[in-house]
Structure formats: C-alpha cells, structure tokens
Amino acid sequence: MIHPLEGYTVLDFTQLLSGPCASLRLADLGARVIKLEHHEKGDLSRTLYGESIDLCGDSAFFQAINRNKESIAIDLKSKTGKAWVRELVAKVDIVVHNFRPGVMERLGFDYASLKLLNSDIVYGCISGYGQDGPWSTKSGQDLLVQALSGFVWQSGNDKHGPLPVGLALADMFAGSQLVQGILATLVSGESGSVEVSMLEAMLDFQFEPLTLYYQDSESVERGKVNGAHPLVGAPYGLYKTSSGYLVLAMGSIIKLGDLLENDQLLSYSDPKQWYPKRDEIKQILSDQLATASSQHWLDILEPADIWCAEVLDWKHMLEHDGFKVLDMLQTVRCGNGQTYTTTSCPIRIDGELFKSPQGAPLLGQHNASLEQEFSLGSV
Amino acid sequence: MKLPLKGLTVLEFSQYMAGPYAGLRLADLGARVIKIERPKYGDACRQLVTKNMKAGGDSVLFHTVNRNKESFQANLKDPQDLALVKKLILQADVITHNFRPGIMDRLGLDYETVKTLNPKLIYAEVSGYGTQGPWRDKPGQDLLAQAMSGLTWLSGNSGDDPIPFGAAVADMVCGSNLAQAILACLIRKRKTGKGAKIEVNLITSILDFQFEGLTAYINNPELKPRRSSIANAHAYLGAPYGIYSTQNGYLAIAMGSLSTLARLIDCNALADFDQDNLYFSKRDEAKALIAEVIAKNTSQHWLDILEPAGYWCSDVYDYHSLTQSSGYKALDMEMTITRGEDVNLRTTRCPIRLNAERIFSERAAPVLGSANVHITKEFGL
C-alpha cells in the first residue's frame, strides 16, 4: 500500500488547532510533517489549550492533534534559526503557518521570499479574518469566529439566545479547507500559495442558510420546541423519552401519526404545514414520546423505515458494536515513551485504514536527527 | 486565473449533501463536475425545498450545493443508458456515489468491475456508517449520525437536553474528507498512474471531528464531557470561555487569565480562581461571577476595555449585523449565480484563495439533463 502523499514533506509553523489539524491530515495521508516549534514555549496548545486535562505530560488536546509528527525547536528570531528555516524550506514541499497577518513577512518567510529558495514550494496559511481588511488584526479564536459569523443563532431553540457549539468548529473546518487547497495545488504540480480564513470557512459552512438569507433577509428562527435545524420542519428534532433521548429526522407526519396511533398528528394532513407549524407538531410528539422508553419507540419506528436513532453518549457509543466494527481507534507512543489511545484518520483507501504508532513529539525531540539529515549548522 | 484542477473530469452520482459538497469544492478548484442524474426527478435535493424557496423549478438549497456543475440524465436500470455511462466512466478521472451498499454492484458499477474499464479511475464512495456491522443499513442522515456519535452532549448548558448542531455538520465534514481523499489520490495517480478506491462515511467523519475530547475521555473515562451550567462553549475548557449577556446584547470571551480579567472588569473575587486549576474545576462559580458583572453594562463598554488590553473577546453577530459589518464586506464573500432568465441568486463563493486571488463562478446549478446532447457528442457516446 502506497500512502498517497508518500514522499512529500511539510514544514509546519502552525500551533493550536486550525493549522495543526490540517498537518495531521497530511501526515495521516502519508506526508512527513516537521513541526517547527518556539524554542522555549513550544506549540501553545501544549500548555494553553485543554491544559486542564493532562495526558502523558502534555495537554490531551496537544497529544490528539500532533501525533505522527516530528518536532524541531527553533528560535526564529536568531540568525541560526533563520538559516535553519532556509535550509529546510529548500528541501521540503509544503510550508504551512497560522501566524497573525504580517508575522511571516517580518520574519522574511512570506511566500515570495520562500519561492526564491524553492521554486516548487506550496505555501498554506490560515488567518482569523483574512490577510487584510479591518478585522485582520483581531484574534482568530474559534469561539470569537463562531460569535461573529452568525453561527451561534443556528443551534438550539430561540429561548437559548446565542448558542456556540461545544467544539472548535471554525478551527477544524478552516484546517480542512486548507488541506483541500494545498492538495489541489499539488495536483497541478505547480508552486502556489493557499489562504484560508476561519471566518470565510465558517461562512462556507453556513452556505445553505446564508444563501437563503441573501434572498429574503429574514432572521433565523430556530423555533421553540426541540430545535435541531432552523430550516427543517417537523418532526426533525431531538426528543426526550422515559429512558433517554432519540432523534427523528425528516419524515411524514401522517405516517408517524399512523404508527404512533396519534389522531392529533393525523390532523396535520397537509405537508405544507409541517414547517410553519413545526412547534405545535413537535410539542405533540414530545408529549407522546416522553411516555415510553427509547427502545419502545425505535421498535415501532425503525421497521417502518422512519429515520430515527437513539441519542448516545461517548460511553455507549464506544461500547457499541456499530462503533467497534469501524476500527477507528489506535494506540500510539509519544515522545516520553508512554502510550495513549486516540482516533485514526476517517478515510479508507484501497480497503485500508491508515494508522501510525507514532504519538506526539516532545518539544525539540527531533532536533538532533533533523540537524544531521538537513545539515543544519550554527551560523 | 488558471485553476489547479483544470482538465480533470468528475462524474457525480452522489445526491443530497455530502457527496455533492465535495463535488462543489472540486468544481470551485477547476474540475469539470458532471452530475449523473436519474430521469424525471434527478438529484433528490432538487425537491428538498426549505422556506419554500425555489429558483428555476429547483430548491435554492440544490443551487447552493450544485452550482458550477453539468447534468447528464441517465436511467441506470436501462441497459442502453448504462452503456453510455460506462463509456463516460472510461474517460473520467473521478467518480463519486452515495448509493446504499449493494446498489452499484447490481448495476455492474462496483469498483472491481469499473476498475477493469478504467484502471486509473479514482472511485469514491460515501456511506452513513461503513459497509459492515449493525449500523450498516441505518439511514445515512446527518442528524442521526450526530446523535449516535455523542456530539449532542457537547453544546448547551448542563441543564439542557442534548443539543444537535443546527447545521448538517456530519455531511459537511464527510464531504470535506471525501474531497481531501480524492485530491490525495489524484496526487498519487500523477506519480504512479494508479487509481484508487476511497471510502468515507458520516459517522467516522463526525467522530474524527470530536477527536480532541474523545482522546481525553478514552484515556481517562472519569473525564466525561461535562457542559458548564452557565455560558457553556466547550466541555473541556475552563472559565471564562463562553458567551455572556450584556445590557444590550452579548459578548463572547475566549480563554485568558482570570486575574487579568478580574482587574479589567473590576471583579476581585474572580482572581481567586486563577490558581490550582480552579478556573476549570470551579468554572461554574467563576462564570457566574463574570456573568453578573458583564450584564451590568453594554457590549461596547466591555469591548472598549477588553480589546485594547488584548483580551480575546468579540461582539456576537446575527446575519444582519454580520453582513453589514466592515469585516464581512472586506471579504467579498458573495457572488451572483445565474442560469438564463430563470435563475439569479446570491450565494457564497469558495472559501479558499489561491495566489492571493478569490475564486468566483457565476454558473448556477444545471437543468436536469441539460448537458446530455453536448456530452454525448463530446465523449463520442
């Protein structure tokens, strides 16, 4: 099995999540990723992101995001550090960074300068809000981008007020777009620079509701009951049962009325009512579904091909045979020799999943080997 | 601008969101994407109408996901049409589909068969939950995948029921994974001449999306994701991380030192939480203190204090305030797509910029079967 990106090397200046999740994907697809870290502090996510959860001596988040990479500690402000970067750039294929706009330029590592050192280089960067414009100096942090992008009005019910989603969506979605831009450039076989901002990524993520908004300028209404998507009518939602929760996706209210022997539902015979009257209909469903267990309802609804599922938490999901058969976990050994279990790449190619036993590196763990391999001397 | 995927042809058998979203990104980056659609109805997304909004007979949603593509209509159950499609596959670089397990085999379009026709083909398959196991036949639908993955326990406050993302997040990240896999295999093909079979699915895509928290939890099951009781924005991050009500709106505050925040908002009690990890272990109490103070003044008042001090915070916008803001306008994110007289829609452009240029395309989604005549001729079918 040849990993598709075998033979490509990435020099990775990024830290925290947006850039490092992009380079993780490149690593999983076969690229060699050299993580360039601040010589003293290292990647900020070692100490400043998810730091309350320690795993093998670094934050658990750092361990999850940075497996399968090598670490070189460099003082970018020193002459030697700058010389090392130039040596490395000359021999790698891809450079990525997520510094604030202007930082790479000041260091002398902007795309134009690096292209002089390596005419084939593919250069990728992630910013919060674009390289220029009035917001370019704002901090490109996930929650702030969610808040500015309007996305906090999409989840939950109207009574919730702005509701951010509880993981770093803007970071990861921007990272994902960067991977696509970099890979497309590599397909062309030509040098190029690829830019993604977290805000643009979040706007793309909302292309469906934004396109509707551009037509009618109407505010988003999540509804009062069981909100699960502001644009989809009843029964779409998450419902409490006597034993837990279940979700119902799109489906016919009439068919549900028949299956649940509920005359109130049957009175909503016109499918055109299912969006404007979604709160009423979902309230009727909520009242009924609360009276018995999730399994009771699934036994009625699933055989009738109603789109439904039990709501699982991580514990029950991880124990489920449906999860186990996905073969998604792997155990890796990190820089200090300890092992931990984490997820693996969700892409299968030619029937194979890509796993790698290499955990996240210690800060500067690979300085000696990289100095030798790339002939990095002091200046 | 010369787009990087120019010259590549993608046949899109996929419908709805995940597969077509990948196709859209490949089209944005220069590939020619031809939708292969069943007669009369085409992609079921054409009729998936939200807010009653249609353009040229198709849902606005369909236009959003399928702009910049062509449509070839074919009845795959008809031997003649199937023969034409096989000829097209001979000349394609990539095909994507999201049929339920087994359907492509029955049509004779499974990878093993198609590979013999075109060994360089990248063959990409989207499913809900993979091809084995007890979830195999469950409907591959976004909300279901969210619910089964554990995702709904991450958002909202601890007193809330589980809350799904109000967007098709499993579809979108799965589509992104699909696009990445296709591109990576095109790179390998360039080097080795080898085709590939790619499989992605909604459930591992949305699980991968939770990889940070999952890694924390799997290695220490005591660390169940716990939402904070107030201003929750992340199960594993401490105070102040969250959104707070102000006198006239809301304020988002990201991570930062609590003693600094205590000084800036003049709330001495808050500084006590800056030690011994209390900002995480007692975050509900710390957040309650912050909420009480922030509610007493306007959003602008707090922004004027926190922003100059470099504290990570922002206003909270809805689509009205967002689209009127100077930061949004500077992005130049919107474009108009058209189709003759009957479609004229504003939508978003590709979020990737190449060589400092934005990528625009004005072509709306195709009329069903509108490319049959010229594709038949061009590909010698």
H helices, E strands: number in chain A = 16, 15
pLDDT in tens, B139-150: 999 999 999 999
Same-domain check for residues B310 and B352? no
Per-residue pLDDT at A131: 94
Question: A164 vs B198: CB contact, 8 Å cut-off?
Answer: no
pLDDT in tens, B216-275: 999 999 999 999 999 999 999 999 999 999 999 999 999 999 999 999 999 999 999 999
Same-domain check for residues B246 and B197? no
Contacts of A137 in chain B (CB under 8 A): none
Gap between the Cα atoms of B32 and B74, Å rounded: 18
Per-residue pLDDT at A1: 64
- B27 in a structural domain: yes
Q: Helix, strand or coil for residue B140?
A: coil
pLDDT in tens, B53-81: 999 999 999 999 999 999 999 999 999 99
Domain layout of chain A by residue ranges = 9-205+349-373
Contacts of A15 in chain B (CB under 8 A): none
- B219 in a structural domain: no
Same-domain check for residues B158 and B42? yes
Question: What's the full length of chain A, in residues?
Answer: 379
- B226 in a structural domain: no
- Is a pLDDT exceeding 90 seen at residue A334? yes
Per-residue pLDDT at A379: 76
- B2 in a structural domain: no
Last residue of a domain, one of B295, B324, B353: B324
The CATH architecture annotation of domain A9-205+349-373 reads 3-Layer(aba) Sandwich (3.40)
Which long-range contacts (C-beta less than 8 Å, at least 24 apart) are formed by A257-261?
A259/A300, A259/A301, A259/A304, A259/A306, A260/A288, A260/A300
Same-domain check for residues B205 and B306? no
pLDDT in tens, B264-305: 999 999 999 999 899 999 999 999 999 999 999 999 999 999
Same-domain check for residues B46 and B193? yes
Q: Is B149:B207 a contact under the CB 8 Å cutoff?
A: yes
Domain that holds residue B277: 242-324
Question: B188 vs A49: CB contact, 8 Å cut-off?
Answer: no
**Catalytic: B63?**
no
Catalytic entry in B63, B234, B301, B320: B234
- B237 in a structural domain: no
Same-domain check for residues B16 and B65? yes
How large is the ipTM?
0.98
Task: Tell me which of B111, B131, B187 to substitute to probe the interface with A (most A C-beta atoms closer than 10 Å).
Answer: B187
Q: What is the CATH number of the domain that holds B256?
A: 3.30.1540.10
Question: Using CB atoms and an 8 Å cut-off, which of residues 208-237 of chain A contact chain B?
Answer: 208-220, 222, 227-232, 236
Helices B169-192, A169-188: crossing angle, 10 deg rounding = 20
pLDDT in tens, A339-362: 999 999 999 999 999 999 999 999
Contacts of B179 in chain A (CB under 8 A): 180
Same-domain check for residues B265 and B138? no
Question: B143 vs A228: CB contact, 8 Å cut-off?
Answer: yes
pLDDT in tens, A100-119: 999 999 999 999 999 999 99
Q: What is the CATH number of the domain that holds B203?
A: 3.40.50.10540
pLDDT in tens, B15-30: 999 999 999 999 999 9
pLDDT in tens, A50-81: 888 999 999 999 999 999 999 999 999 999 99
Same-domain check for residues B192 and B298? no
pLDDT in tens, A188-212: 999 999 999 999 999 999 999 999 9
Query: Strand B343-348 relative to strand B352-354: parallel, antiparallel, unpaired?
Result: unpaired
Same-domain check for residues B315 and B358? no
Under DSSP, the state recorded for A125 is: E
User: What contacts A36, CB < 8 A, 6 or more positions away?
Assistant: A11, A12, A13, A72, A74, A85, A88
Per-residue pLDDT at B338: 97
Question: A63 vs B215: CB contact, 8 Å cut-off?
Answer: yes
- B233 in a structural domain: no
Q: Does the CB of A171 have a partner CB in chain B at under 8 Å? A: no
The answer to which of A321-325, B102-106, B201-205 has the lowest mean pLDDT is B102-106
Under DSSP, the state recorded for A359 is: -
Structural domain tally of chain B? 2
Same-domain check for residues B161 and B15? yes
Nearest CA in chain A to B146: A311
Same-domain check for residues B192 and B293? no
